[in-house]
Chains A and B, each alone.
Chain A
Amino acid sequence: MVARVENKTPKILGLTAVLAVTLVIYYYVFLFLREGTANAWIIFAVSLLWGIGGVWFLFVLVTSIIDLCSEKVRQVVMPWAFAAPALFLVFYYLLLPTFRTIYLSFFNQDSSKFIGFDNFIYAFASPTMLESFKNNLIWIIFGGGISVLLGLLIAALADRTHPKFEVLMKTAVFLPMAVSMIAAAVIWKLVYAFAPGTEQVGLLNAVTVTLGGTPVPWLLQKPLNTYLLIVILIWMQTGFALVVLSAAIKGIPSELLEAARIDGASELQSFFKITIPYIQITLISVSTTIVIFTLKVFDIVFSMTGGNFGTQVIANEQYVQMFRNFDYGRGSAIAVVLLVTVLPVVYYNVRDFGKNAKGF
């Protein structure tokens, strides 16, 4: 036993030397990539080698060294070779910044002076933020609510159609999920386009004119414009609700529905008495996901109206404070507000996980 350990020592030392050299090379590649002045494709190739090959090589090297150590060292150290890289990045990019942002929210614009709760007074009482709160609430109720309801409706109805039609329908509703919000903004700007006179480029105004109305600059119409932006969110998010709820509905045992039918239940009765209770948990988790997503809505408002004309929302106001006004104090305070709104979900997720992880 002792002899074997002695045999391994040179090997460990050798590999450690290789590791040291690798780390030095790694550092220089980092500097090269940070410089970023070389041809873009060379940077790309190096990054793939560095980020994938390099990380893999480091992992193999480190685990090989640990494998050569004694059983005791191995048991203690090996798990960290697996878990530490991801944990480090998550802590640095998410956990630590959360506390740093909370800290910054008590300081002034350039974080040079402690100002107490002033930023939070802004975050909770300024006219812009009050407008944002109101709008975010409208986004959640209408945007989130209608996305889930439409998803449920389409899932339930499409379940009764020809399978080919169902697939076609689902794909049509699902496809916008693959599109960036900016591309969606172009799509919908075209729908809402306005020109004075009778010749309209935008579909909505063309319909208005055909019905005998006068063209309207839709995105300037307060408070209608917020609802028109919400339509875009519904267009993009319903596919998510549809796919998940559809899978849940298909999971209902057919004997259950069959039994209800034999007992004389109508379609509507069996929908509310069997389908809904059966998919309840899925329904809650889909709603939560969509609400969180809606709460942080940014891209749509940013690209369609820039938060003007009474359409401001919390996430966009945060961006404005951070990158237009360079007020890091207010920007941080608004981010904290966003965090507080998702805290119940954080709590729920963790509690739920604790329940499921008994056999851990």
Chain B
Amino acid sequence: MVAQKMNLSSKIIIYGILIFLGLFWTIPTFGLLVTSFRVPDDTSSSGWWEVFTEGKFSFTLQNYSAVLNPGDGATSNTAATINLNQAIINTIIMAIPSTVIPIFLAAIAAYAFAWMNFPGRKFLFMVLVALLVVPLQMSLIPILRDYRVLGLNGTFLGVWLANTGFGLPLATYLLYNYIVTLPREVFESAVVDGASHPTIFSKLVVPLSMPAFASFAIFQFLWVWNGVLIPLVFLGDDPSRIVLPQRILQMIGQYATNWQLLTAGAFVSMFIPLAVFIGFQQYFVRGLLAGSVKG
């Protein structure tokens, strides 16, 4: 409707501005991708755009095999130790329980806050809302000290629990906002039929809340997968536990000018979150629109 009424010149201006901004957003990533397929001699002596301007391109996959295969030292001796495979496995091991555990705990809590009566309900929920934006930094030192005493420092268990604890305010808040809007009649008729709270929860609330679970799951998964601070503090940099962001961070220090390795490594670390993001974009957007601030 609006578009038809616009004259040609304003149309050109609008498309012009947007295309310019679109290039700003895509060119840096495109450069990363191109660089990751170039040979070391090219990346150290020329910019990635020369692939197009000068035809300087000998396509190779060896950067990817160098960062992924533990035994492949094709590009240099140091590359043999990059072994991002282990880091990918570690990140998966860290991310999945850190995503699934909070959903269940938040769902039952959100149900209680939305549909059950208990003293302090309103006050406790307010505390939860207040904690939404409290900076993580407030928790690091005390929790780290406890972890040292409990022997949880440097364990996946410690990170799962920390990610769960830090993710729960947002999880409960988002799920509450959804569960509280479920029609009251559904619950009333269930109560009349003699259903107990656990039954109502598992037979009615869980199936109806799947979209909300999905949108929080995407949120939490991306947050955990991409997070730097929590694994840095609680998991450490032992090769058997190190996760992708931290490993890439080490690579930035070790291979500062080996652009072909750095870019391949960065792309490997981006692949899974990008796939999840593109695949479940609508759930992610729904979560965003539900209004979310993370601490």
Q: Could you list which residues of chain A lie within 8 angstroms of chain B, going by C-beta atoms?
A: 30, 33-34, 36, 40-41, 43-44, 47-48, 51-52, 55-56, 59-60, 63-64, 67, 75-76, 78-83, 85-87, 89-90, 92-98, 100-101, 104, 150, 153-154, 157-162, 165, 168-169, 171-183, 185-191, 193, 199-203, 206, 235, 240, 243-244, 247, 254, 257, 267, 285, 288-289, 292, 295-296, 298-299, 302-303, 315, 318-319, 322-323, 328, 331-332, 334-336, 338-339, 342, 345-346, 349-350, 353-354, 357, 360
Cβ B157 vs Cβ A243 within 8 A? no
Main secondary structure of the interface of B (DSSP, over half): helix
CB < 8 Å neighbour of A82 from B28, B109, B156: B109
**Is B118 on the interface with A (CB-CB < 8 A)?**
yes
With A94-B131, A101-B141, A154-B21 in contact, do A175 and B274 touch (Cβ < 8 Å)?
A: yes
Q: In the complex, what residues of A have CB within 8 A of residue B148's CB? A: none
Contacts of B46 in A (CB 8 A): 199, 201
Cα–Cα distance between A334 and B126 once the two chains are bound (Å): 26
Tell me the bound Cα distance from A199 to B138 in angstroms.
46
Q: 19 A-B Cβ contacts within 8 A?
A: A36-B156, A48-B96, A52-B104, A82-B197, A83-B109, A85-B108, A165-B15, A179-B273, A181-B245, A182-B226, A203-B47, A247-B289, A257-B2, A288-B293, A289-B293, A292-B293, A331-B140, A345-B133, A346-B134
B residues in contact (CB < 8 Å) with A: 1-3, 6, 10, 14-15, 17-18, 21-22, 24-29, 31-32, 35, 43-49, 89-90, 92-93, 96-97, 100-101, 104-106, 108-109, 111-113, 116-118, 121-122, 124-143, 150-152, 154-158, 160-162, 164-166, 168-169, 172, 196-198, 201, 222, 225-229, 232-233, 240, 244-246, 248-249, 252, 259, 262-263, 265-267, 269-270, 273-274, 276-278, 281, 285, 288-289, 291-293, 295
Question: How close is A250's CB to chain B, nearest CB, in angstroms?
Answer: 11
CB atoms of A179 and B135 under 8 A apart: no
Determine which of B2, B21, B140, B245 lies in contact with A180 in the assembled complex, contact meaning CB atoms within 8 Å. B245
Smallest CB separation, A159 vs chain B (Å): 7
CB <8 Å contact, B152 and A34? yes
Given contacts A82-B112, A299-B228, contact A178 B138 (CB under 8 A): no
Docked pose: A283 CA to B12 CA in angstroms? 28
